[in-house]
Amino acid sequence: MAIVIPPWLANLVDDAAIFPPGNLPLDRAVAAHREHKTSEYAAMVGNFVVSDVKIADLIDLLDDDPSLVEPVETSLAITLVVTGGAGAIEPAVRWASRAPTVQLSGLECALRDEDDLAHNAGRVCSMLDSLEEELAGVDVFVEPPRVVDRPSHGWLLAADELAMRELPLKFRTGGVAAEAFPTPAELAACITAALDRELPFKCTAGLHHALRQIDPETGFTHHGFLNVLAATRACLDGGSTEGALALTEPAELLDGLDGDALARTRRWFTSFGSCSILEPHDDLVELGLIEPEATA
């Protein structure tokens, strides 16, 4: 039975299947991505996420077996994650942008956690400026260091530097250890800092489920991607960003959020990377936010 993906869910989940804790082998991850992009829920699936460490392996894989992307598309749309500092951006971009089997659609790089974070942000900005031609049409996100308790003065100055170049932010919302998960107050501070500077943002790690919940296997408390969406809306409307992140009841979380409000909010909370596509999908089905298409 066909299902309807509402516009506010379009391209919400980037496919980070090869990253922890999924750690799917590259060939299986690409094959699974192809299935996702031809499924009834394809509209909610974004780019295939690959690191600069794996990009050469991905290109070799696609050169050997182009059927992994055809006939879905003539090249595989990727988001490239740069694992090094500013100096690692150029070789990664040039490598990916010259391969005919991949389409560089997104780029994510991180600021090294140094004393002069604003200076580091300036170096990243300068490097991105030098690659203007290669990055035309590419969605670029810059990840500042994890906020602990509250953003430092240096963190905010770095955010100002990125805002002057209108570079969206990327926030880490979890990981493979309990300490990798920011508190609602910490994540709320990041969202507020982004929106105060009129910067969109995306999230990565830990957002496998729609609602804030405790993982029964690890005992870690995970943020929910609907919580992040509701928190973004609350911040824009003058409500409690931290409060929305802490909610666990779907009715309370989605109160007052219709499709139009959610679609407007996606301008700011653009997407999140997940090692699972089906977990977010299944949660949305269970909540009734994805429904079968009505038939006559």
Q: Give tens-digit pLDDT for 270-291.
A: 999 999 999 999 999 999 999 7
Digit-coded pLDDT (tens) for 183-241: 999 999 999 999 999 999 999 998 989 999 999 989 999 999 999 999 999 999 999 99
Please give the residue range of the domain that contains residue 53.
Answer: 3-292
Cα–Cα distance, 40 to 42 (Å, whole number): 6
CA-to-CA distance for 280 and 224, rounded, in angstroms?
10
Pair of tokens at residue 160: 């100002």
- What SS3 state is found at 62? helix
The percent of residues above 70 in pLDDT, for the chain, comes to 96
| Signed CA dihedral, 176, 269, 45, 47: sign only | negative
> What is the DSSP-derived secondary structure letter of residue 260?
H
The CATH number for 16's domain is 3.20.20.70
Number of structural domains found in the chain: 1
Q: Is the distance from CB of 174 to CB of 207 less than 8 angstroms?
A: yes
What is the per-residue pLDDT across 86-100, written as a single tens digit (0 to 9) for each? 999 999 999 999 889
User: Taking a C-beta distance cutoff of 8 angstroms, is the pair 45, 278 a contact?
Assistant: no
Cβ atoms of 34 and 72 within 8 Å: the answer is yes
Share of the chain above pLDDT 90, in %: 83
Structure tokens at 142: 């810059």
The DSSP secondary-structure symbol of 264 reads H
Beta carbons of 228 and 241 less than 8 angstroms apart: no
pTM, 2 dp: 0.94
